[in-house]
Amino acid sequence: MNNGCICCTVRGDLIKILGNLKDRRDQGSLKFDRVIIETTGMADPGPVAQTFFTDEDVGGYYLLDSILTVVDAKHAPKQLDEFTEAQQQVGFADRILLSKSDLVSENDIKTLSDRLRRMNPRAQMKKVNFGNTPIEEILDIRGFNLNAILELDPEFLADTHHDHHDEVESFVFRSDKPFNGDKLEQFLSGMIQVYGPDLLRYKGVLWMKGKPQRVVFQGVHMMMGGDIGKPWGKDKKQSVMVFIGKKLPKDLFLAGLEECLA
């Protein structure tokens, strides 16, 4: 694609190219099962992901599966300190592949892994050698599927004391009480209007008063969607929500969500 800002020039190119690929596939002149988009090393993945929600033709034909981020274990600590884009790539990720881990000590790997998990506790992370990884671990992840399981690591979510003050951080809301649906919708809509540009990814499985099924939701920036999940059955009813973003007012979010409980 042409050089330029991903928010304008390149996003327009992306829409055109995806449309052209669709037409050629429909006409039978080109066969493919998937399209993999590789951004530059300093790109913000957000506008690319938003393309699949904001453009009707693209969103109606293509399914946005997931965002993968490769982290250079040797240079990542410095890059994360200096570049917001590097933090954003970690925050958006559904999978984090840790490369060049053979060039640093095990202690350095642990320190970096802990930092990455604090920034994004919902992304699965694994070490890779020269990028080699089973194809099934990076395709068909369904990271944007509303009914995908919300996977969180409680050990790292509970750890709020750390040395790095990254712009991109995460926090989790949990409750064993049901939500009032109207209050929650009003609160989240207001918060997204104000803090949407700084909300990278957010996702949750909710217990709503009067509903026998789970309600699942997720969002990217200012676009949020929800759906009805499977019935609670004999499972313990609870709500779990994870928010990943830049300098978000955690206390304001948590206090507001508490006010939305039935």
| Closest among 208, 222, 203, 220 to 149, alpha carbons compared | 203
Query: Are 47 and 39 spatial neighbours (Cβ–Cβ below 8 Å)?
Result: no
Q: Can you give the pLDDT at residue 50?
A: 82
List all residues 6 or more positions away from 127 whose beta carbon is below 8 Å from its beta carbon: 73, 98, 99, 101, 109
* Cα gap 159→156, rounded to integer Å: 5
- Numbered ranges of CATH 3.30.1220.10 in the chain: 154-259
DSSP 8-state assignment for residue 260: T
| Closest among 236, 249, 235 to 177, alpha carbons compared | 236
Q: Can you give the pLDDT at residue 84?
A: 86
Q: Can you give the pLDDT at residue 256?
A: 96
State the CATH architecture for 154-259: 2-Layer Sandwich (3.30)
Q: Can you give the pLDDT at residue 156?
A: 43
DSSP bridge partners of 244 = 170, 201
Q: Is 191 helix (H, G, I), strand (E, B) or coil?
A: helix
Return the structure tokens found at 157.
């979510």
pTM metric for this prediction: 0.73
Q: Can you give the pLDDT at residue 254?
A: 96
Q: Can you give the pLDDT at residue 159?
A: 44
Query: Are 50 and 6 spatial neighbours (Cβ–Cβ below 8 Å)?
Result: no
Residue numbers of the chain with a pLDDT score lower than 50: 6, 8, 154-161
